[in-house]
Amino acid sequence: MKPILIIKTGSTLKTVPPERGDFEHWIMAAMRLPEAQFVICDVMAGEQLPTPRQISAVVITGSAAMVTDKLDWSEYTGAFLRQMVDSELPVLGICYGHQLLAHSLGGVVDYHPHGREIGTTEVRLTAAVKNDPLFADFPAEFPVNVSHRQTITLLPEGAEVLAANDFESHHAVRFSKNMWGVQFHPEFAADIMQIYLAEREEILLAEGLNVAELQAKVTLTPVAESLLLRFAQLASQAS
């Protein structure tokens, strides 16, 4: 099997204990494959992406950067993602990666009109998941961990919404046959979510959010995490 490419577009908070690893480690753990089955490309550090022929699938991580800044490494990654459409290999964007897919494929990304969404929340599946190989058979509603200020404000042509909630209309999107994005973080464990809330407590309070209430609502998100395992299975079938 060719390796799964993880495009590293950012790193977690410095307050996360080093032994807990970073985005790519959480993604690999949830996919339950040995690290030798992955190749990590840190585009922020200027590393060059492989060709689609060299890989079996792609996962794009989250980031503290903003898609609307159109940074050089981000636009470079976006051009690569446009190539991936024709390859028909499985692609999954997470948070920033989700928004970058939309931006790269002709959609629009901007700051969410209602501000930040952070903590554990529920998402609801839409009727479009019925025949979707990644989301089919998931429960109609399930908890997810979120941390974002930007959002997709206009979907690319042909994209389908697979999951949403009252705050975020595009929590999961299928952009093309084998290309998905999720605004939530399937790789975030409950303790990681708590660290994010604690790290940003002052900012959240200044924004009028009830931090204690957000902390109390943090819970396990096994369905969301299983999305990465299912994606790994799709990658193995595609290779």
Alpha-helical (H) ranges within 60-176 are 72-87, 96-104
Q: Which amino acid is at 175?
A: F
The answer to whether 185 is a known catalytic residue is: yes
Question: Using an 8 Å Cβ cutoff, are 147 and 185 in contact?
Answer: yes
Q: What is the DSSP letter of 171?
A: S
Among 95, 148, 170, 225, the one annotated catalytic: 95
Rg (CA), the chain: 17
Alpha-helical (H) ranges within the chain are 23-31, 72-87, 96-104, 190-199, 201-206, 211-217, 222-238
CA angle 146, 49, 37 (to 5 degrees): 70
What residues pair up with 93 in beta bridges, in sequence order? 60, 181
The answer to whether 187 is a known catalytic residue is: yes
The answer to whether 148 is a known catalytic residue is: no
Among 24, 117, 187, 225, the one annotated catalytic: 187
Give the C-alpha separation, 188 to 197, whole Å.
Answer: 12
Question: Using an 8 Å Cβ cutoff, are 96 and 9 in contact?
Answer: yes
Q: Annotated active-site positions, please? A: 95, 185, 187
